[in-house]
Amino acid sequence: MRRTRTGNWRILLVLAAVNVLIMGLLTALSPTFLSYGNLSAVMLRMSELSMLAIAETIVLIAGGFDLTIGAVMALSATVFGTLYVQGLPFALIVALALASGVAVGALNAFLVVALRLQPFIVTLATMSIVRSVVYGLLKGNVLSDLPEGFLNLGYVYVLKIPLLFLVVLLVAVLAIVLLRRTVVGRRIFAVGGNERTAFLSGVHVDRTKYLVYSLSGLISAMAGLMYTARIRAVVPDMGITSPLEVITAVLIGGTAITGGKGSVLGSLLGILAMYLLLNGFNLLGLNPFWQTIILGTILIYVVGQENILRGVRAALHRAKIGRQA
């Protein structure tokens, strides 16, 4: 049961071409763009949001929605930071930080599965709850008393590539294998494509949902630790604008909001475009917020492509008939 992927490949190709185009333009316009220092800085900076994008893609493919990714990122960092101050062993606090993310994911899944609630609103509510817990634990403070060895991970380079970015690549490969090459992955697509059909063909729909939300929590929690290592602090507002940024990039990457369709690679290309634009506007000394204008426009265009083109064609056709008459 291989899926037809032609439509998917087209989006990926277009998106890859867009990225290449941006890179070409920036190489021509800015002498520093192609320098090692600049490129590795972009890779480092896009690490956390790339992780969140992978998490969101898995949930969206299964027909779910997860607004808690940014709050979970902050929660895991907070758990890590506050427990470190208590003097617990390092391995234990890392495990607990990741477990906090899985716990939020499982809670989301419980509310969606057992109470049959709508995921957008459920995760809006749990986002508010988790963020509130973060604020409550940190009491508005920034934690910077963190293990030095851990903080240095943000500046470790392997083969001149930032370690954090290699973590992203590893997680991305694992996610792609899971989604494309395993039975579990096929079930995730099946549940998102048509829940009823999936159920009737023997897929454990509920179990699949628990899995995707927990995975999303786990990956977001990893992102929290990565973010902490990169900025060398735990900040209460960490990731507060992430959900909408990430969802924008993921939808641009061809993942359908209705489920059953999407790709991790597309999402990462979406995040890459976002950071390349940001980097480019900064290098060129232009206002970096042009980035959000461009992304918003691309989002509407990509998702509405067929209808927009049909509308334009119809308008052109009418104009032609009008001229002939």
Partner 1 sequence: MSGGSASFRKVLQFRELPILVYLAVMIAVFSIAVGGFFSFKNFENISRQISTVGIVSIGMTLIILTGGIDLSVGAILSFAINIGGLGIVAGWPIWIAYPFMLVLGLVLGWLNGFLITRIAVPALIITLGTMNIYRGIIMVITKGRYITPIPKVYEAIGSGYIPFVFLAVILAVFIYVSLNTRFGRNLFAIGGGEQSAVYSGVPVRRYKMIVYTISGVLSALAGMILVGKSAFIQPQAGLGYEMSAIAAVVIGGTSIFGGSGSVLGTFLGSVLMGLILAGLTMLAVNPYWQGLITGVLIILAIALDTVRQLRH
Applying CB under 8 A, the residues found at the interface with partner 1 are: 111, 115-118, 120-122, 124-129, 131-133, 135-136, 139-140, 244, 247-248, 251, 257-258, 287, 289-297, 299-300, 303-304, 307-308, 311
The nearer residue to partner 1, 11 or 43, going by C-beta atoms, is: 11
Q: Least Å distance between CB 51 and partner 1?
A: 20
Q: Least Å distance between CB 224 and partner 1?
A: 18
CA distance to 145, 157, 199, 229, 230, per residue, from 148 (Å): 9, 16, 49, 9, 12
What number of other Cβ atoms are within 10 A of residue 79's Cβ? 25
φ, ψ of residue 233 in degrees (nearest 5) = -165, 160
Q: Least Å distance between CB 116 and partner 1?
A: 6
The nearer residue to partner 1, 32 or 297, going by C-beta atoms, is: 297
The nearer residue to partner 1, 195 or 229, going by C-beta atoms, is: 195
The nearer residue to partner 1, 88 or 121, going by C-beta atoms, is: 121
Q: Least Å distance between CB 129 and partner 1?
A: 4
3-class secondary structure, 234: strand
The nearer residue to partner 1, 147 or 296, going by C-beta atoms, is: 296
Q: Least Å distance between CB 236 and partner 1?
A: 9
Region label for 254, one of left (φ > 0), alpha (ψ between -120 and 50) or beta (otherwise): left
> Cα(36)–Cα(308) distance, rounded to whole angstroms?
40
The nearer residue to partner 1, 88 or 314, going by C-beta atoms, is: 314
Are 287 and 281 a contacting pair, CB within 8 Å?
yes
Instruction: Give 143-187 as a DSSP string.
Output: B----HHHHHGGG-EETTEEHHHHHHHHHHHHHHHHHHHSHHHHH
Which residues are paired to 186 by β-bridges? none
Q: Which of 18, 25, 43, 15 is nearest to 281 (CA)?
A: 25
The nearer residue to partner 1, 116 or 196, going by C-beta atoms, is: 116
CA distance to 66, 100, 198, 213, 284, per residue, from 225 (Å): 19, 12, 36, 19, 32
Q: Least Å distance between CB 191 and partner 1?
A: 19
Q: Least Å distance between CB 259 and partner 1?
A: 12
